[in-house]
Amino acid sequence: MAHSILVFYGSYRSDRMGIRLADYIVARLRGRGEDVELIDAKAVGLPMLDRMYKEYPKGSAPAALEALAARIRAADAFVFVTGEYNWGMQPGLKNLTDHFLEEWFWRPAAVASYSAGRIAGARSGFVWHGTLSEMSMLVISSTLTVGPIAEALDADGKPLGQAGQGLERAFGRFADDLAWWTEAARMQRARKAPPY
Ligand SMILES: Cc1cc2nc3c(=O)[nH]c(=O)nc-3n(C[C@H](O)[C@H](O)[C@H](O)COP(=O)(O)O)c2cc1C
């Protein structure tokens, strides 16, 4: 049975590169038979956080927030594709995630980082681990680290050269790890209601 997986990406830059990695992950997970949707924070276009979703009276949240809350609640797992700005997170993706809390609970999350250089966004990926744990996601230990991203993926998200081959090799374990925890969490939710 396919898992429902949301892939989040949050750069708002006109010349953004990380969309290559987001597209690659979506394509590869679909290739494994998963039911995958890309959530592009720029396309969703939430304003800077004012009220969290849960702070709106029931039925009165803006339509984009209501629709995204329903997609997050219905998902089995999440992948966060994270670039690195000045050793930190990209604000667009952080802003989107902060709009929700309980909607994230009791599902696994995976972090895939990238950057223009050889550090491959690892410092941003490190910060995301703590943040996703705080939001009650189970963060899997396998990561993808892609850098320099322009040497690993072309504009269509297709692997390039040696760096692309390295990404292909790493992807299998990353996806296996996520699938195992996704299945475990889904079985446990079916067996026993979450405690809160
Ligand atoms: C404001 C800003 C800060 C950046 N800081 C870092 C950094 O700390 N480490 C790094 O490896 N790359 C850094 N970069 C380069 C990015 O890795 C590169 O521009 C990448 O493509 C950004 O992701 P995006 O194209 O999806 O927006 C920075 C880029 C920008 C625009």
Instruction: Please tell me the predicted confidence (pLDDT) of residue 53.
Output: 98
Instruction: Please tell me the predicted confidence (pLDDT) of residue 1.
Output: 84
**Non-local CB neighbours of 139 within 8 Å, separated by 6+ positions:** 108, 109, 110, 111, 129, 132, 133
Task: Answer yes or no: is 196 within a domain.
Answer: no
Task: Answer yes or no: is 11 within a domain.
Answer: yes
The total number of structural domains in the chain stands at 1
Separation CA 125–CA 88 (nearest Å)? 9
CATH number for the domain spanning 171: value is 3.40.50.360
Task: Answer yes or no: is 185 within a domain.
Answer: yes
Separation CA 21–CA 152 (nearest Å)? 9
- Smallest CA separation from ligand 1 atom 4, residue: 85
- Going from the Cα of 121 to the center of ligand 1, the distance in angstroms, rounded, reads 8
Instruction: Please tell me the predicted confidence (pLDDT) of residue 35.
Output: 98
Q: Does residue 148 have a cis bond before it (omega within 30 degrees)?
A: yes
Instruction: Please tell me the predicted confidence (pLDDT) of residue 27.
Output: 98
Separation CA 41–CA 43 (nearest Å)? 5
Task: Answer yes or no: is 152 within a domain.
Answer: yes
Our answer on whether the CB atom of 85 is closer than 6 Å to any ligand 1 atom is: yes
Helix then strand count (H, E) for the chain reads 7, 5
- Going from the Cα of 16 to the center of ligand 1, the distance in angstroms, rounded, reads 9
- Going from the Cα of 57 to the center of ligand 1, the distance in angstroms, rounded, reads 38
Summarize pLDDT for 18-57 with one digit per residue, the tens: 999 999 999 999 999 999 999 999 999 999 999 999 999 9
Separation CA 38–CA 7 (nearest Å)? 5
Phi-psi region of 120 (alpha: psi -120 to 50; beta: other; left: phi over 0): left
Our answer on whether the CB atom of 14 is closer than 6 Å to any ligand 1 atom is: no
Tell me the residue range of the domain where 129 lies: 4-191
Q: What is the CA radius of gyration of the chain?
A: 16
- Closest by CA position to 13, among listed 120, 111, 90: 90
pLDDT means per 10 residues in the chain (196 residues)?
Answer: 96 98 98 98 97 97 97 98 97 98 98 97 98 98 98 98 97 98 97 95
